[in-house]
Amino acid sequence: MHPLLPTQQSLPLFNVAASRRIEARALLHTPDLMARAGLAVAKLALALRRGPGPIWIVCGPGNNGGDGRVAEQLLTRHGVGTHIAATPPEQPALVIDALLGLGLNRAPSADMAATITAMQACGAPILAVDLPSGLLADTGQAAGNCAVRADHTLALLTLKPGLLTGEGRAHTGQLWFDDLGVTPDEPPTALLLGPPTRPDRRPTSHKGSHGEVLVVGGAPGMQGAARLAARAALACGAGRVYVDLLDLAADEVADPVRPELMRGRLSRLPQAVGVVGCGAGHGIAHDMPGLLHTLPRLVIDADALNAIAADADLQDAVRRRPPASTVLTPHPLEAARLLACDVASIQCDRLAAATELARQLRCTVVLKGSGSVVASPGECPALSGSGGPALATAGSGDVLAGWLGGLWAQQPDAPAHAIACQGVEAHGRAGEVPGVLCAGDLIDRLAHWP
Ligand SMILES: NC(=O)C1=CN([C@@H]2O[C@H](COP(=O)(O)OP(=O)(O)OC[C@H]3O[C@@H](n4cnc5c(N)ncnc54)[C@H](OP(=O)(O)O)[C@@H]3O)[C@@H](O)[C@H]2O)[C@@H](O)CC1
Ligand SMILES: Nc1ncnc2c1ncn2[C@@H]1O[C@H](COP(=O)(O)OP(=O)(O)O)[C@@H](O)[C@H]1O
């Protein structure tokens, strides 16, 4: 067994209803699923325990608790000290959280909440069985005020989306997976993104082979955002990158730090990939009809999203664009504006929110944040398990938009969904560093990744 992330391949994710169906069919020919689950838990517990103390196993009323009890029997048979109770032993070497799993259907009862608090306070590392108790498998939200913050989570039978999006990453710790020898026999609810690829660069290629990007944004005082996007597109390998800085005199340089970048205008670059909205302010609303009408491939971010949210005609213009030609990259607040709701409504079910926005505007949506979601009409939604708080800094979203533009310039025939999946995963993996990653440094890491 090894930690799941970063994944070496794309993996299917299943919500509660699908996991239940898969489990029911598997039990017909594999009745010892719980024995397999308990064995997997016991093996991992042996590897993770710290110190000579007993392993504290907290078992709930359902099959999640059943997995814990099987693990307890196996560990005892192996000569390992165990303690099954709602209260801790002296100096436990590990806590196995088998209180609540897939069957969580309401906020934990007061007794359970007290046990969760005791697990958290006992000082030993916590291994959650299948799901951290109190975390909803479909959405990654806590069902009540408290959910276990595990150091490790061993997902069993299926991987659930809530382990990876919403608050999931804050509760699961290191993620492990055992499929219990069962191959899922139905389509996934979503896909966990595998390693991203980069476009080939043929030995005989020239800059004209790698496409053009036009970044439109950068109102006065916010030019950095547009420049970050343009630098990211350049670092990604786009052949030529132009910047249309709003309200900057036409003879000023695009970017004093990167002389490779050029000034450009929509009228001269009707075939470029547009990356629009980064640091654009309200002024971008005026340019949006022309950009939406003209450019064959568009990545729309930040203020351009706000302009669309505020204008039904622009929303219609987005919907009328050819299929698979538009990517929107909202963070949760921008998504809330586009769906006319609040951030909590977006975050309480990120997969559903991204899918609904993609349906309404008939385009690809990247809902950013921990566990970014890529949703497009007619596609299985994708979830990224990559990225982390090092990316929670101004400008990292501009870098993503520019990187997507750079990828698309080099792969003009690729559909929006494929570009978004490649870019989101590359951006997340490049952003996995301790501490904080400034946006400019993120571009360097992306350029040299993998
Ligand atoms: N079957 C197998 O072979 C396999 C099973 N597997 C394992 O089974 C797990 C799923 O088991 P499960 O369906 O029994 O659900 P589980 O999470 O144990 O909880 C249900 C119980 O909790 C209760 N309850 C719910 N919410 C509550 C709350 N807030 N506060 C208090 N109580 C609450 C609920 O009560 P009720 O709603 O009925 O009142 C019910 O009694 C899965 O996660 C995995 O670990 C896998 O290893 C694969 C093989
Ligand atoms: N905690 C986190 N975990 C994973 N990714 C994150 C986290 N915080 C931020 N990010 C990523 O960083 C980027 C931030 O984008 P955005 O909010 O638009 O910032 P800005 O507008 O400042 O560029 C998104 O791609 C988002 O997914």
What is the per-residue pLDDT across 381-399, written as a single tens digit (0 to 9) for each?
999 999 999 999 999 999 9
Closest residue to atom 11 of ligand 1, CA basis: 63
Of 188, 219, 244, which residue sits at a domain end?
Answer: 188
Whether residue 302 is contained in a domain is answered as yes
CA of 103 to the centre of ligand 1 (A): 4
CB-side exposure of 245: number of CA atoms within 13 Å? Answer: 23
Same domain, 179 and 312: no
Residue span of the structural domain in which 83 resides: 11-188
Same domain, 60 and 120: yes
398 lines ligand 2 (CB under 6 A): yes
Same domain, 326 and 385: yes
Q: Which atom of ligand 2 is nearest to the CA of 427?
A: 25
Whether residue 195 is contained in a domain is answered as no
429 lines ligand 2 (CB under 6 A): no
**Count of C-beta atoms within a 10 Å radius of residue 286:** 10
ipTM attached to this prediction: 0.94
130 lines ligand 1 (CB under 6 A): yes
Same domain, 296 and 376: yes
**Count of C-beta atoms within a 10 Å radius of residue 434:** 8
142 lines ligand 1 (CB under 6 A): no
Whether residue 83 is contained in a domain is answered as yes
Closest residue to atom 14 of ligand 2, CA basis: 397
Same domain, 107 and 145: yes
In this prediction, residue 248 carries a pLDDT of 72
Of 188, 222, 252, which residue sits at a domain end?
Answer: 188
For residues 190 and 29, give the distance between their C-alpha atoms in angstroms, rounded to a whole number. 26
User: Which residues of the chain carry a pLDDT beneath 70?
Assistant: none
Q: Give me the number of domains the chain comprises.
A: 2
Cα angle 28-22-176, degrees, rounded to a multiple of 5: 115
Q: Is 398 annotated as a binding residue?
A: yes
Tell me, what CATH number does 108's domain have?
3.40.50.10260
Q: Which amino acid is at 254?
A: A
Same domain, 247 and 151: no
350 lines ligand 2 (CB under 6 A): no
Same domain, 153 and 252: no
Q: Are 36 and 6 in contact (CB under 8 A)?
A: no
Same domain, 289 and 423: yes
Strands 82-84 and 262-263: unpaired
SS3 129: strand
By most ligand atoms within 8 Å of CB, the mutation choice from 303, 391, 403 for ligand 2 is 391
Q: Is 406 annotated as a binding residue?
A: no
Same domain, 17 and 164: yes
285 lines ligand 1 (CB under 6 A): no
In this prediction, residue 247 carries a pLDDT of 76
387 lines ligand 2 (CB under 6 A): yes
Q: Which two tokens stand for residue 415?
A: 């559909």
Same domain, 127 and 266: no
Strand partners, 275: 215, 299
Whether residue 198 is contained in a domain is answered as no
Whether residue 343 is contained in a domain is answered as yes
Q: Is 123 annotated as a binding residue?
A: no
Q: Is 78 annotated as a binding residue?
A: no
Q: Is 102 annotated as a binding residue?
A: yes
19 lines ligand 1 (CB under 6 A): no
Whether residue 69 is contained in a domain is answered as yes
Same domain, 164 and 233: no
416 to each of 324, 357, 362, 402, 427, how far by Cα in Å? 5, 15, 11, 14, 16
Closest residue to atom 12 of ligand 2, CA basis: 391
Query: How far does Cα 113 stand from its chain's mean position?
Result: 28
Q: Which atom of ligand 2 is nearest to the CA of 386?
A: 4
In this prediction, residue 303 carries a pLDDT of 97
Same domain, 214 and 115: no
